[in-house]
Structure 1
Amino acid sequence: MGRQGWSGLLVKRGLAALLVLPLSGCVLFARPLRPPRASDADLARFQFPLDLPAEGRTQTPAAVAVATQLAMDDFRPLDLKPHKNATADELCLYRRDSFDVWTAPGPEGVLFVRFVPRQDACNSEGPVTDASATYAIDTRQWRIIGIQR
């Protein structure tokens, strides 16, 4: 290849690199998706009780809370959007609050997390039976090691 051939190739590669560089920067600096919050005014108005009410209070062990969050973030990510022309039941199944959560210890540091549609959720055309999922969460390395749908 002649001298002009090499220089032309280098210019093209340089331009390609300059075009791709900003795109990769967007990925590096993208903010993680955060849960929605009320306005500052609404946050300022909310009053907490001095202690949590005794009636209905439950304790969730830290391992269960973290494993459930890990599984839920995979099962129904915060940025999950329904497909176009989704039915009312399908829209319902995109919502995290449509599912009850069951947990059970497994072998060797595994915690099973199961999502099951609530009895009273998404049943305008009958009960939903095929939207459940069970996750196996490794609580030592905090990773998903199995999914059963």
Structure 2
Amino acid sequence: MKRKFLPVLLLAFLPACTLLQRLCRYRPAHATPEEAERVEFPFIVPEKSRLEIPGTTAAAIQLAMDDFRPRDVKPHRGATQEEECLYRRESFNVSAFPGTEGVVFVRFVLNPDACPLRDPVLDAGATYAVDVRGWRILAVQ
């Protein structure tokens, strides 16, 4: 008798799983319509300040950053200003370079101007090897 209800039970929970996935998916914050109206997009982007980043490289950087500094991780209670700064994604400079056979290396290095550190931090960064064919992290150094 219990086995008869198992498929019904699974079908009942399936929509809840889908709903929770949608609720938990990260979506960036958007400005109010009033703020958005004040933004003036340039007609032409100056070549000197333009960065062209291939889509696979941009996606590799995002994948590595999501592992290096996940969006949902917050500093511990009582963290110092230095520690809070080290948790922020924008405290790190990023460089990316192609490897062989579908690998992109992504390096995060602490921006020395981002955090007012009393003592030097030697191991705040990391280098990721990202497989851009299977979209997975191969190794971290």
Runs of 4+ in 1 over 6 A off after TM superposition: none
Count of residue correspondences: 134
Q: Structure 2-normalised TM-score?
A: 0.80
Q: In the TM superposition, what are the counterparts of 1:101-120 in structure 2 within 5 Å?
A: 101-120=94-113
1:136 to 129, 134, 137: 129
Tell me whether 1:49 sits opposite 2:45 in the alignment. no
Q: Deviations over 1:62-110 (max 9, x none)?
A: 2211110111111112222111111111100111110011212222211
CA distance in 1, matches of 2:17, 2:53: 39
CA distance in 2, matches of 1:129, 1:123: 14
C-alpha contact 1:119 1:127 (8 A) present in aligned 2:
no
C-alpha contact 1:67 1:139 (8 A) present in aligned 2:
yes
Q: Deviations over 1:30-72 (max 9, x none)?
A: 2411122222210121110111123322211222111101111
2:114 to 115, 121, 133: 121
Larger Rg: 1
Aligned to 2:73: 80
1:36 to 29, 32, 42: 29
Root-mean-square deviation over aligned CA pairs: 2.5
CA distance in 2, matches of 1:29, 1:61: 28
State the one-letter code of the partner of 2:93.
Answer: D
CA distance in 1, matches of 2:22, 2:33: 25
Q: Structure 1-normalised TM-score?
A: 0.76
1:99 to 92, 103, 114: 92
State the one-letter code of the partner of 2:40.
Answer: Q
User: Which consecutive residues of structure 2, in runs of 5 or more, have no partner in the other structure?
Assistant: none
Of 87-96 and 53-62, more deviation after overlay is shown by 53-62
Aligned to 1:3: none
C-alpha contact 1:35 1:78 (8 A) present in aligned 2:
no
User: Which consecutive residues of structure 1, in runs of 5 or more, have no partner in the other structure?
Assistant: 1-5
